[in-house]
Amino acid sequence: TPTAYGTPLAEGKETRIIDGRGYVLEYPISADFALIKAQKGDRWGNLVYRKTARNFGPIMASAAKCTVVQVREIVELGAIDPEVVVTPGIFVQRVVGVDVADALTQPQAAA
């Protein structure tokens, strides 16, 4: 990224000049596991998100070595329009269905 080149943020990091412009080498984010929440998914792991779950879910699914997804609704293969799939199943290793009532239940404190 050229953003931090020539600033204190670039100190200690690898820099390169490409086509006359300075860049700081930033390595991509990675994780061993990603635990993700999605609105809908099929058994192959194709996912559709709801609202802000779309912010980091797709990024972490592609960055993790093992992605486990909690979905509210597991649908049949082919039921999700390919145009609305946000995370393709190639990035998902496990899909866990959670009942909507269970997902909405708030934890109760022990008396």
| pTM, 2 dp | 0.74
Q: Are 68 and 35 in contact (CB under 8 A)?
A: yes
Domain membership flag for residue 96: yes
In this predicted structure, what is the pLDDT of residue 44?
95
Domain membership flag for residue 2: no
In this predicted structure, what is the pLDDT of residue 110?
52
Domain membership flag for residue 19: no
Domain membership flag for residue 15: no
Residues in the chain: 111
In this predicted structure, what is the pLDDT of residue 67?
97
Domain membership flag for residue 93: yes
List the one residue out of 81, 82, 67, 77 whose CA is nearest residue 32.
Answer: 67
Residue with tokens 């994780």: 31
Domain membership flag for residue 75: yes
In this predicted structure, what is the pLDDT of residue 26?
87
Question: What domain range is 100 assigned to?
Answer: 31-104
Domain membership flag for residue 12: no
Dihedral angle, C-alpha 105, 70, 83, 64, nearest 10 ° = 140
In this predicted structure, what is the pLDDT of residue 62?
95
In this predicted structure, what is the pLDDT of residue 111?
47
In this predicted structure, what is the pLDDT of residue 99?
81
83: which DSSP letter? G
* CA distances (Å), origin 72, targets 45, 53, 56: 13, 12, 18
Domain membership flag for residue 13: no
Q: What is the pLDDT along the chain (111 residues), one digit of tens a residue?
A: 888 898 998 999 999 999 999 999 988 999 999 999 999 999 999 999 999 989 999 999 999 999 999 999 999 999 999 999 999 999 999 999 998 665 556 555 554
Instruction: Tell me how many domains the chain contains.
Output: 1
Cβ-based neighbour number of residue 69 at 10 Å: 23
